[in-house]
Structure 1
Amino acid sequence: MASRTVIRDLYNVRLRPAEGTATPLTDEEEQRFRAVLFSELGDKIADQGWACFPAYTPEDRRRLVDVADRLTTHWGQQVFVEAEDQCRLRLCLAGYEVLPKTLPARP
């Protein structure tokens, strides 16, 4: 019995990224994600004056800074971006900034 070789054309096949790496968003996905952030974070900032959101990668941080810029333009009021900790950014209106933490005086 002769073995038959089957050749298949594979369309729309992408290589899987290595473990632990992020896959980049397509342009359409990026636009939709920024629109959702604009809406959701904008609503939260409008309600309480600030909002925090995770920012694990430099791209996450750039995305949040862009959203803050868009909100500033939309509202005509500055939206500030501050690091809450190593993995979160805080977007806030003037008056809701986090004050610098000071160490207690030594005796």
Structure 2
Amino acid sequence: MIRDLYNVRWRPAEGGSTPLTDEEEQRARAVLFSELGNEIADRGWVRFPAYSPEERRRLVDVAHRLSAHWGQQVFVEAEDRCALRLCLAGHTTQPPVPM
């Protein structure tokens, strides 16, 4: 049986990433702005995974947009190689990690 595949993209070689279209990038940043902004407003900080340089740049841009929107600095800290932490002043020190 032969199946037709629609809207399928070739995957890049290992270690590469699939770039988003401009529309997908705008939607991704809008969702991050809303969801991460709500979490930061509630807790003062949020942790979010960022596995590639593109994802890290996206989160840094969202932090700058939130800073401009609120008129208050949103800091970006690298927690480890795979996660960034966005936080407001006063929440810049990381909480102790339970063992």
* TM bucket, shorter chain: 0.7 to 0.9
Deviations along 1:43-78, one digit per CA (max 9) or x if unpaired, are: 000000000101111111100000000000000000
Structure 2 gap ranges (5+)? 1-6, 95-99
| Structure 1 stretches of at least 4 aligned residues deviating more than 6 Å after TM superposition | none
Q: How many residues align?
A: 88
TM-score by structure 2 length?
A: 0.81
Is residue 43 of structure 2 the alignment partner of residue 48 of structure 1?
Answer: yes
Q: How big is the shift at 1:15?
A: 4.3
Secondary structure in structure 1 of the residue aligned to 2:78: strand
The one-letter code matched in structure 2 to 1:74 is: H
* Structure 1 runs not aligned, ≥5 long: 1-11, 100-107
Q: Percent identity?
A: 77
- TM-score normalised according to structure 1 size: 0.75
* 2:92 counterpart (84, 92, 97): 97
Q: 1:83 to 1:13 in 2, by over 3 A?
A: closer
Shift of 1:18: 2.2
